[in-house]
């Protein structure tokens, strides 16, 4: 065989192997889904006892695997145990306890009033599970972002196929191992992998898709879901602004800003992406910011300062640092994938760093002359996932919160709205659709079935022949026509 035909044979073999691998994925995905659908249709997941048992099992699985999960997150991007427990596990345990405690009341049918025209009768709204759900997670909080939606789906009585991000590969493997050990795969199972596996999953028909990730992949998921008319929740990202008014109590709020921006090395979907500060206090703000960054000890020397998840993400972030604009930081080390907390000043709205979500430890600072200017700047961009406002003034707060649309946010703090399970968490417009956390999560994975129950002892003659003027007059009255 000549060199050319050897090469052709090898390419053909590779194509064969790849399509065989593709077939294996397709077949095993199809089997998993069909087994889950069959199990769901047996009605086994619908009883409250069954659901509570799954939630308790998940809690004890996490408790027993805690060390392994913490080590996996550290192996993925050097995120230390303290930070992982505070920013990931706390939310997971809280959601589990809340769901176990509240499940009975969340899943009760609710009686609502019945319109006069339908009397006698009684109207109800009855939550029911959607069926077999696909949850696709992001890598940046790889325990929380995979398990919190899973808790909501199980609480609502669904079966779940979970696809964690391949970028946090150790955590994905640890979750898969834990879930395989404790769960019947007909109820909950993990499919590991990247684009190929996710694409295969997305071709199948699910009863719900819950996706956390970027806007661009969110579009792919939405299109795939549309093919099967599958309902989706999309938890996406975007550029979340932090507006600082001239009256802000800088010594307190800047401490909160520094923690919220640089924890996880800025790889937080709701981290403030950029600051808009009142021009009159720019200098004092920057002085305090510099000091706080020093105190916070997020630095290349801190062995718990999170790494950037991949070299690709590292290179993208470094390309956003224009040395002429660096006020603080700018140091980076590619071999360890670390970037120091970096503050950029003299930034304009059309600079490169202001184009896409930064998702790293880089904070551009822009100034504004008046509140109108800040409002119109934010409103000229896609609706953000979060908006933060540092001010002591209720009129500034009312103005900005009533005029600007955003997913959720806080006054005089950052990130904290996530930690209240009474607050539905989600985006709007480009930053996402739908919400979860607490009861909102249960709702995201439920269908609210409506029905009227009517007795048979009386049937008003209004809508039947013979049509009479008096009947129409009563109908007009009943409906305010």
Q: Rule CB under 6 A: which residues touch ligand NAD?
A: 136-140, 145, 163, 165-167, 194-195, 198-199, 212-214, 217, 220, 235-237, 269, 357, 359, 385, 427, 432
| Closest distance to ligand NAD from the beta carbon of 357 (Å) | 5
| Closest distance to ligand NAD from the beta carbon of 472 (Å) | 52
Quick one: tokens of 453?
A: 């129950």
3-state secondary structure of 160: strand
Of 430 and 446, the one with the shorter C-beta distance to ligand NAD is: 430
Q: Which helix (H) or strand (E) holds 215?
A: helix 215-227
Cβ neighbours of residue 304 under 8 Å, at least 6 residues apart? 78, 79, 80, 82, 83
Question: In the chain, helix, strand, coil percent, each to 5?
Answer: 50, 15, 35
| Closest distance to ligand NAD from the beta carbon of 446 (Å) | 20
Judge whether 368 and 281 are in contact, CB under 8 Å: no
Residue 198 CA: distances (Å) to CA of 136, 207, 324, 460: 8, 16, 41, 55
Adjacency order of strands within the sheet including 446-453:
110-112, 122-129, 446-453
Of 21 and 119, the one with the shorter C-beta distance to ligand NAD is: 21
Burial bucket for residue 473 (CB in 10 Å: 0-12, 13-18, 19+): exposed
Of 196 and 468, the one with the shorter C-beta distance to ligand NAD is: 196
| Closest distance to ligand NAD from the beta carbon of 140 (Å) | 5
Of 366 and 385, the one with the shorter C-beta distance to ligand NAD is: 385
Burial bucket for residue 432 (CB in 10 Å: 0-12, 13-18, 19+): buried
- Among the listed residues 88, 95, 200, 269, the single catalytic one is 269
Of 36 and 140, the one with the shorter C-beta distance to ligand NAD is: 140
Taking the C-alpha atoms of residue 141 and residue 146, their distance in angstroms, rounded to an integer, is 8
Cβ neighbours of residue 344 under 8 Å, at least 6 residues apart? 321, 322, 325, 326, 327, 353, 362, 363, 364, 365
235 is a catalytic site residue: yes
| Closest distance to ligand NAD from the beta carbon of 205 (Å) | 16
Residue number with the smallest Cβ distance to ligand NAD: 237
Quick one: tokens of 385?
A: 């996932």
68 is a catalytic site residue: no
Of 203 and 398, the one with the shorter C-beta distance to ligand NAD is: 203
| Closest distance to ligand NAD from the beta carbon of 195 (Å) | 4
- Among the listed residues 88, 200, 235, 292, the single catalytic one is 235
Catalytic positions, written as ranges: 235, 269
């Amino acid at each position: 065989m000549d060199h050319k035909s050897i090469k052709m044979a090898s390419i053909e073999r590779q194509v064969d192997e790849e399509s065989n691998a593709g077939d294996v994925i397709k077949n095993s995905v199809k089997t998993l889904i069909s087994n889950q659908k069959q199990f769901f249709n047996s009605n086994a997941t619908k009883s409250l006892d069954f659901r509570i048992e799954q939630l308790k099992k998940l809690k004890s699985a996490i408790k027993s695997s805690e060390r392994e999960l913490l080590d996996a997150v550290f192996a993925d991007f050097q995120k230390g145990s303290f930070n992982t427990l505070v920013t990931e596990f706390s939310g997971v345990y809280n959601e589990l306890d809340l769901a176990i405690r509240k499940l009975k009341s969340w899943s009760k049918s609710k009686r609502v009033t019945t319109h006069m025209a339908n009397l006698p009768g009684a109207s109800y709204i009855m939550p029911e599970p959607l069926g077999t759900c696909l949850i696709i997670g992001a890598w940046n909080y790889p325990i929380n972002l995979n398990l919190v939606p899973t808790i909501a789906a199980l609480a609502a009585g669904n079966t779940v196929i979970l696809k964690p991000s391949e970028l946090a590969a150790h955590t994905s493997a640890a979750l898969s191992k834990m879930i395989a050990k404790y769960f019947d795969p007909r109820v909950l199972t993990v499919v590991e992998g990247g684009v190929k596996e996710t694409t295969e999953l997305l071709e199948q028909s699910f009863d719900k898709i819950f996706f956390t990730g970027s806007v661009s992949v969110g579009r792919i998921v939405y299109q795939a879901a549309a093919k099967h008319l599958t309902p989706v929740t999309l938890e996406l990202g975007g550029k979340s602004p932090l507006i600082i008014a001239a009256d802000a109590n800088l010594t307190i709020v800047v401490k909160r800003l520094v923690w919220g921006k640089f924890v996880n090395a800025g790889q937080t979907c709701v981290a403030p992406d950029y600051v808009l500060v009142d021009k009159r206090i720019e200098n004092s703000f920057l002085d305090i910011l510099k000091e706080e960054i020093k105190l916070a000890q997020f630095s290349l020397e801190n062995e718990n300062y999170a790494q950037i998840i991949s070299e690709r993400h590292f290179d993208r972030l470094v390309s956003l640092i224009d040395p002429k604009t660096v006020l603080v930081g700018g140091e980076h080390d590619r071999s360890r994938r670390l970037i120091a907390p970096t503050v950029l000043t003299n930034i304009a709205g059309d600079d490169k760093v202001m184009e896409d979500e930064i998702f790293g430890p880089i904070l551009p600072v822009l100034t504004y002359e008046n509140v109108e200017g800040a409002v119109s700047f934010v409103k000229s961009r896609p609706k953000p996932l979060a908006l933060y406002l540092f001010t002591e003034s209720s009129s500034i707060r009312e103005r900005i919160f009533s005029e600007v649309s955003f997913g959720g946010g806080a006054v005089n703090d950052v990130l904290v709205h996530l930690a209240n399970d009474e607050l539905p968490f989600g985006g709007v417009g480009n930053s996402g659709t739908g919400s979860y956390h607490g009861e909102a999560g249960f709702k995201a994975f439920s269908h609210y079935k409506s029905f009227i129950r009517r007795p048979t002892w009386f049937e008003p003659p209004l809508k039947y022949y013979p049509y009479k003027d008096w009947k129409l007059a009563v109908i007009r009255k009943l409906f305010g026509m």
